Structure 1
Amino acid sequence: MGAGHAHALYRHGHSPVHRLPAHCKIVATLAFVLAVVSTPRTAVWAFGGYALLLAAVAVAARVPPGFLLRRMLVEVPFVVFAVLLPFLAEGPRVEWLGLSLSESGLWSAWNILAKGTLGVAGSVLLAATTELRDLLLGLRRLRLPALLVQIAAFMVRYLDVIAGELRRMRIAQASRGLDARGVRQWGTLARTAGALFIRSYERGERVHLAMLSRGYTGAMPDLDNGTATRPAQWAAAAALPGAALLVCLMGWTL
């Protein structure tokens, strides 16, 4: 799992959120997302409450808003899809600024944007306050199949390796005067993608052989120190999903 590998999503800190065990934070984040997803889309005020809860966690974790917002840009494709729904969906129409919008499409777009944004923000906060190694160990402590944990570990680690390989190939192309931005360069881009696949596959084989030569038998060494989780730590982690569950229940009853 590599103790020295720090992911770009992680922000080093010594806050109370950072010190919570990884498996507690994973369970808390999952429970929070389930509460958000279970909330009726018509309870608009409830999603504002969820946002305030996440803001409180970000303040406690000392995660700057800019850091959080930049890493939430991964949500942009879903935002584009949600924006198109009011124009494409069927059903009763409403007029707004001269545009004919579907009422059901507006609610669907709001549902996707609100719940998706809160889910992404919760996940980014989890990654920002938990090192990659601790996340993987947390998944192991939650009894996730070891094979899935290994796949996740290799995927995260070697995505950076492949990105580095692609960066070197682009530098080599630029040094030779290639500016692959137009339609005419699509053939070159396709060949670049093919070369990247072959290089990645060959590197994967070399890494596997290196692991076998060092005694790899299909299972990574267990680096968990086995420290027991205190009830106070579970209680602290349960504060966020507990408050979210209360908001969800109020959203259904009010």
Structure 2
Amino acid sequence: MGAVHTHRLYVHGHSVVHRLPPHCKLVALVAFVLVVVATPRTAFWAFGCYAALLIAVALLAQVPLPFVATRMVVEAPVIVFAVLLPFIAQGPRMDVLGVSVSEAGLLSGWNVLAKATLGVVTSILFAATTDQRDLLVGMQRLRVPGQLVQIMAFMVRYLDVVTDQMRRMRTARAARAFTPRGPRAWPVLAQSAGALFIRSYERGERVHLAMLSRGYSGQLPDLPGAPAYPSRRAWLLALTLPATALAVAFVAWWTP
């Protein structure tokens, strides 16, 4: 395959977090998220500790906090759902700032919002310190099924290609004085979506034939990069975050 371009979420740097092997960071990411999800929703202080840990990681990795905040817009649908829960849930109700809300819905909304936000921030920090190619290397080192690694590799490689095709089509529509306003524009947008699908499918076929002509047999070669067996120090550094979070969770579980 050709070289994988650096994604927009990546922040170039040489911090200790950037230098960690990708599979160590991937294991730490999954472990931390599992600990956060398993934390009781009434342990409000625990979620504050998790947030402080992520801020410490961002500072250690030299990832600007505004950079993280601006990319949390992907969480908007979850925020809307969490805000609506107190109003649509059933059960005993209470007044908050003069508005009647469900007690169970309020607690559930907080639970969804807190855990989703921590998960999103953790993923952003992982993406900001791990290049696309390193992520694929890490998945191979963790013995992730080869088909999944290939799907991820092709998705990462050709997402920019499809996005650029969409941009060119939008430019072509604008050059023809097309303005997407109202339902009358929907047929044109639907035709554009169909054309984009056909072009992407045809390009995928051409890429597959080109790979077969170069000896592709259904398996990608092992990608050079991070060592298959990182040092004990690398694992200790990577697992510091989930281990600290686990200690906080234990206190939260045993504290009434």
TM-score range, shorter chain: over 0.9
Whether the 8 Å contact between 2:140 and 2:149 is mirrored in structure 1 is yes
Whether the 8 Å contact between 2:46 and 2:248 is mirrored in structure 1 is yes
Q: 1:189 corresponds to which letter in structure 2?
A: L
The answer for the alignment partner of 2:150 in structure 1 is: 150
Question: Is residue 2:254 matched to residue 1:249?
Answer: no
Superposition pairs for residues 87-102 of structure 1, below 5 Å? 87-102=87-102
The answer for the alignment partner of 2:77 in structure 1 is: 77
Superposition pairs for residues 163-202 of structure 1, below 5 Å? 163-202=163-202
- Distance in 1 separating the partners of 2:251 and 2:105: 25
The answer for the alignment partner of 1:13 in structure 2 is: 13
How big is each residue's C-alpha offset from its partner over 1:166-206, in whole Å with a ceiling of 9 and x where there is no partner?
11100000010000131211111111111111111111111
Q: 1:232 corresponds to which letter in structure 2?
A: R
The answer for the alignment partner of 1:211 in structure 2 is: 211
Name the count of aligned residue pairs: 254
Q: 1:198 to 1:11 in 2, by over 3 A?
A: same
Query: TM-score, length-normalised on structure 1?
Result: 0.97
1:72 aligns to what SS in structure 2? helix
The answer for the alignment partner of 1:239 in structure 2 is: 240
- Distance in 1 separating the partners of 2:88 and 2:156: 36
- 1:96 positional shift: 2.0
- Distance in 2 separating the partners of 1:251 and 1:47: 10
The answer for the alignment partner of 1:138 in structure 2 is: 138
Range with greater deviation from structure 2 (215-224 or 106-115): 215-224
Q: 1:63 to 1:108 in 2, by over 3 A?
A: same
- 1:2 positional shift: 4.1
- 1:23 positional shift: 0.4
- 1:108 positional shift: 0.8
Q: 2:250 corresponds to which letter in structure 1?
A: L
- Distance in 1 separating the partners of 2:41 and 2:69: 23
Whether the 8 Å contact between 1:2 and 1:133 is mirrored in structure 2 is no
1:194 aligns to what SS in structure 2? helix
Q: Cα RMSD (Å) of the superposition?
A: 1.2
Identity %: 62
- Distance in 2 separating the partners of 1:48 and 1:73: 21
How big is each residue's C-alpha offset from its partner over 1:105-137, in whole Å with a ceiling of 9 and x where there is no partner?
111110111000001111111111011111111
Stretches of structure 2 that go unaligned for 5 or more consecutive residues are: none
Stretches of structure 1 that go unaligned for 5 or more consecutive residues are: none
- 1:98 positional shift: 3.1
- 1:67 positional shift: 1.1
Whether the 8 Å contact between 2:61 and 2:129 is mirrored in structure 1 is yes
Q: 1:9 corresponds to which letter in structure 2?
A: L
Query: TM-score, length-normalised on structure 2?
Result: 0.96
- 1:226 positional shift: 6.6
1:151 aligns to what SS in structure 2? helix
- Distance in 1 separating the partners of 2:157 and 2:104: 42
The answer for the alignment partner of 2:230 in structure 1 is: 229
1:52 aligns to what SS in structure 2? helix
Q: 1:239 corresponds to which letter in structure 2?
A: T
- 1:156 positional shift: 2.0
- Distance in 2 separating the partners of 1:107 and 1:20: 37
- Distance in 2 separating the partners of 1:17 and 1:125: 10
